[in-house]
Amino acid sequence: MLKPLGDRVIVTVDKEEEKTVGGIVLANNAKEKPQTAEVVAVGDGLVADDGKKLPMNVKKGDKVLFDKYAGSTVKYEDNEYLILHEKDIMAIVD
């Protein structure tokens, strides 16, 4: 498994709906990019100027809402992940 460094978080992005409520199938370019994901792995956190490690606010298993165009997509062992900085996560979804 991938182990993120610093304040990075690895997530699996939720899949977008293929159809509208009315049953119309959407083309790939008409779909809105999803902004929710599940946290798969969390880094150790940033180190502050005074040498103290700052704790992360998210943990494995959290459902999060992130900035629309944040992060880098990577493929690892036939799975696709998004690697984000913690600052790109806007909220934890309950």
The two tokens of residue 38 are: 């599940």
First to last CA, the chain: 26
Give me the chain's average pLDDT, please: 87
pLDDT value for 1: 83
Asked if the model's pLDDT at residue 30 lies above 50, the reply is no
pLDDT value for 10: 97
pLDDT value for 94: 87
pLDDT value for 18: 55
Name every residue whose Cβ is closer than 8 Å to that of residue 19 and which is 6 or more positions away in sequence: 25, 26
SS3 87: helix
**Average pLDDT in the 48-76 region?**
94
Task: Pick the closest to residue 34 from 60, 62, 63 (CA basis).
Answer: 63
